[in-house]
Structure 1
Amino acid sequence: MSSEDKKAEFRRRAVRRDITTAGAAGGRSYLDGQLLVAMPVMGDPRFERSVIYLCAHSAEGAMGIIVNRPAGSIDFPGLLVQLEIIKKDDQIKLPENAESLKVLKGGPVETGRGFVLHSSDFFIQDATLRIDEEICLTATVDILKAIAKGAGPKHAILALGYAGWAAGQLESEIQDNGWLHCDADPDLIFGNDIEEKYSRALRKIGIDVGMLSNEAGHA
């Protein structure tokens, strides 16, 4: 198996593990449930000025969702039509929270797959990963159907793709001053002011862009 194939297989295993078993394990480990905030020295343009909610982090690697990068012209009602969850004529009948639900670029891995970060008032047995008391992750079409019917979570964002790290990779990037981290903020994660999330996350840590340096740090 080639190096790229091994990485792809790890990511597939990580997603399956995160959604089907991590929630049942109980308790948080490492930085799961926290926000990663990209430092100005971040050399990867895919993550420049990004804010990532870490859904799972362990000795085997990490998986997170970028919460401040819009998915261009893709909107949620149009996506429901594309997935044949609703008919085109039914777009005008969607509940308000479905019409306004944000579609984001969740990361560079499996960009054709949808991941819904949402409030913990919605849960599907064996499909939803409860990350903390306030935030869950579901990656099945059932949650999209529920949102379309007005029976979904109170707060949600839909991310296409996710960010993934192999074992030890995220720790190395933090040590190399690529990321800051802080406690999660549901208001920031689910807020509509996508363009302001990066500066809001930095203010939550207690710094501004001008204060950042090349020294490693964390909250």
Structure 2
Amino acid sequence: MTSFLTDSLIIANPAISDIPKFSNIAGRAIYIIEHSDAGAIGVSLNQSFSTPIDKLAKELPALVNVDFDSLLSPKVLSGGPIAGDTPWILGKKMTQYDKQIANGVLAMNFSEQAFKDNLRERNSICGLGTFGWGAGQLEAELANSLWHYFPASEEALSAIPFPDSFRGAVQLLLAMKYD
């Protein structure tokens, strides 16, 4: 089973920003939640919606159940182009829910109960949408230099001098995993 990218951070190669077909990934820092032979799923950590979470909650019932003060960020992240109207909550894995994608440390939940149960110690964030790759697709994109790969360990992420456009995403990931 191929899973070496699970629990990692990939950042879009800045050289692709001038290519129109890659406009939806240019400048993105994506946390890979799960990677297997079947593909991968991740969420962007460095783009958010301008609409405040309390206003989005009026349109998305699952967000009504979130205690906004328990989140690491008051912003709703724009997680990616797939299922852009589906809210999720990502934080420390503490409970198993029926609609969950998880790795050894973090879990992305889609269950209404997960939104209700969110606690400050889960170090959670909310978002809409995801990124997804089919079997072998992400590996091919990495081989073609569309992405830069970083292990999501505290030591690696703390040692890399990320530019400002990615520093907030890295700080969110560090807080979710290690605070």
Cα-to-partner distance string for 1:35-69 (whole Å, 9 max, x where unaligned): 01111123411111110011111121111101101
Residues 146 and 125 of structure 1: is their aligned pair in 2 closer, same or farther, counting only changes over 3 Å?
closer
Distance 1:117 1:99 in 2: 10
How many Å separate the matches in 2 of 1:85 and 1:100? 17
Alignment match, 1:78: 55
Cα deviation for residue 200 of structure 1 reads 6.8
Decide whether aligned partners of structure 1 residues 162 and 78 sit closer, same or farther in structure 2, where only a CA change above 3 A counts: same
Aligned to 2:99: 127
Matched residues in 2 for 1:57 and 1:163: separation?
12
Structure 2 distance, partners of 1:59, 1:86, is 32
Structure 2: where are the runs of 5+ without partners?
158-162, 171-179
Within the alignment, does 1:106 sit opposite 2:83 as a pair?
no
Distance 2:24 2:63 in 1: 32
Task: Tell me how far 1:154 sits from its aligned partner.
Answer: 3.3
Counterparts in 2 of 1:79 and 1:28: CA distance versus 1, 3 Å: farther
Q: 2:173 maps to what in 1?
A: none
Give the C-alpha shift of residue 158 in structure 1. Answer: 1.2
> Cα offset for 1:199?
4.8
CA contact (8 A) 2:2 2:36 kept: no
**Equivalent of 1:139, from 110, 114, 126?**
110
> Which residue of 1 is the match for residue 160 of structure 2?
none
Residue 37 (structure 1) aligned to one of 11, 24, 42: 11
Report the identity percentage: 25
- Distance in 2 separating the partners of 1:136 and 1:47: 23
Q: Secondary structure at the match of 2:49?
A: coil
Counterpart-to-counterpart distance in 1, 2:72 and 2:27: 27
Kept in 2: contact 1:38–1:47 (CA 8 A): yes
When Rg is computed on C-alpha atoms for both structures, the one with the higher figure is 1
- Report if the CA contact (8 A) 2:63-2:115 is conserved: no
Matched, 1:56 2:56: no
Give SS of 1:78's match: helix
Pairwise CA RMSD: 3.3
The Cα shift of 1:126 comes to: 3.4
SS in 2 for 1:47: coil
Distance 1:117 1:84, change over 3 A: closer
**How many residues are matched?**
159
Quote the Cα distance in structure 1 between the aligned partners of 2:63 and 2:148.
41
Q: 1:176 to 1:85 in 2, by over 3 A?
A: closer
Tell me what 1:182 maps to: 150
Gaps of 5+ in 1: 1-26, 190-194, 203-219
The list of structure 1 runs, each at least 4 consecutive aligned residues, that deviate by more than 4 angstroms after superposition, is 84-87, 199-202
